[in-house]
């Protein structure tokens, strides 16, 4: 099988390395991208025929404000805002050169940047979000105050979802229409998040749906929902906690009953097959959690998801 890419020129991928943990409290998730690169991801992609552009990981510590008091319940809002603004610019510039943008996280607050960057370059894109969580809490609804649980609410182009104007994030232009967003893998959604999904009619396939229909049908239904004519650019945001903790144990907020190894990879293969993928995030790999074997499994699964997104196939 050979994928023809509709939006990507010269089979080039730009890697945006994002060692960042400010959207949640556990240290170590900033080492995720460093480990994925150390495990040989670039060579693997070159081996597959991709040209890789990577100028080293972002150095975010210089964005860290001396003081960053909570805004309402939100923790480290200034740090997260500055970092994700820089990420948005990196992703957008890769996409505008006709590259596929591959962002390695880091915690999922980084999607504030990756999705903003993608929709700046491709306003007509759609977003496929693989996760145990919906990450759609608002500044009011979040219980944890961790911004990795909130990015989607900031990105949605709807009125009245974010009540208080948070000037810190004024750079962010919400461009994501609710009908261009679909979830797969959900199993730990907070009650106010369920309300938001319902209110805006956001398509979501939980693990119940994966069990009921099988992953093949679920991906097809997800694409039908956000990309019925199979012509829009696709942004895939993959939180490795969408996978079962037996498959990706080294992550900050594991939830039992997740996607199997094959289901996770199938999603990436099927999305690659559309030829429409322009932007991929692999998020929440934390190589400091659990034992050595778990770390190895989680980092290697991060790398193999990327390879499947970029066209590695079994035959």
Ligand X SMILES: NC(=[NH2+])NCCC[C@H](N)C(=O)O
Of the candidates 57, 58, 99, 133, the residue annotated as catalytic is 133
Residue closest to 114 by CA, chosen among 224, 230, 238: 238
Q: CA 241 to CA 253: how far, in whole Å? A: 7
Q: CA 142 to CA 210: how far, in whole Å? A: 27
Of the candidates 30, 239, 269, 297, the residue annotated as catalytic is 239
- 94 or 148: CB nearest ligand X: 148
- 111 or 308: CB nearest ligand X: 111
Name the minimum Å distance from CB 250 to Mn ion.
13
Q: CA 226 to CA 40: how far, in whole Å? A: 33
Q: Is 133 a catalytic residue?
A: yes
- Is 107 among the residues that bind Mn ion (CB under 5 A)? no
Q: Is 224 a catalytic residue?
A: no
Query: Where does residue 203 rank: exposed (0-12), middle (13-18), buried (19+ CB within 10 A)?
Result: middle
Q: Is 108 a catalytic residue?
A: yes
Can you give the binding site for ligand X, defined by CB under 6 A? 108, 133, 135, 137, 142, 144, 146, 148-149, 190, 239, 241, 253, 284
Of the candidates 107, 193, 241, 312, the residue annotated as catalytic is 241
Q: Give the contacts of 202 (CB within 8 A, at least 6 positions apart).
A: 136, 178, 181, 182, 183, 196
Q: Is 58 a catalytic residue?
A: no
Q: Is 229 a catalytic residue?
A: no
- Is 241 among the residues that bind Mn ion (CB under 5 A)? yes
**Cα separation of the two ends of the chain:** 7
- Is 131 among the residues that bind Mn ion (CB under 5 A)? yes
Q: Is 281 a catalytic residue?
A: no
Q: Which residues are catalytic?
A: 108, 131, 133, 135, 148, 239, 241, 284
């Amino acid at each position: 099988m050979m994928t023809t890419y509709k939006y990507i020129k010269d089979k080039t991928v730009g890697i945006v390395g994002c060692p960042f943990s400010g959207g949640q409290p556990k240290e170590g998730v900033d080492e995720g991208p460093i480990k994925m690169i150390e495990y040989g991801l670039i060579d693997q992609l070159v081996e597959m025929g991709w040209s890789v552009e990577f100028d080293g990981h972002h150095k975010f510590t210089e964005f860290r404000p001396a003081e960053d008091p909570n805004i309402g319940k939100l923790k480290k809002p200034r740090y997260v805002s500055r970092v994700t603004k820089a990420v948005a610019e990196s992703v957008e510039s890769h996409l505008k050169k006709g590259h596929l943008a591959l962002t390695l996280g880091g915690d999922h607050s980084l999607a504030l940047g990756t999705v903003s960057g993608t929709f700046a370059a491709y306003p007509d894109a759609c977003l496929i979000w693989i996760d145990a969580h919906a990450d759609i809490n608002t500044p009011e609804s979040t219980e944890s105050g961790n911004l990795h649980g909130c990015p989607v609410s900031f990105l949605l182009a709807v009125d009245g979802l974010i009540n208080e104007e948070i000037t810190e994030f004024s750079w962010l232009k919400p461009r994501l229409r609710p009908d261009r967003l679909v979830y797969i893998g959900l199993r730990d959604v907070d009650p106010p998040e369920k309300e938001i999904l319902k209110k805006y009619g956001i398509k979501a396939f939980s693990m119940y749906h994966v069990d009921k229909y099988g992953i093949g049908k679920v991906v097809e239904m997800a694409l039908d929902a956000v990309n019925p004519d199979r012509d829009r650019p696709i942004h895939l945001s993959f939180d490795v906690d969408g996978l079962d903790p037996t498959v990706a144990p080294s992550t900050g907020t594991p939830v039992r009953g997740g996607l199997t190894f094959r289901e996770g990879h199938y999603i990436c293969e099927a999305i690659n097959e559309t030829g429409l993928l322009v932007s991929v995030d692999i998020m929440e790999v934390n190589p400091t959690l659990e034992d050595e074997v778990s770390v190895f499994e989680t980092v290697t699964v991060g790398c193999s998801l990327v390879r499947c997104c970029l066209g590695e196939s079994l035959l």
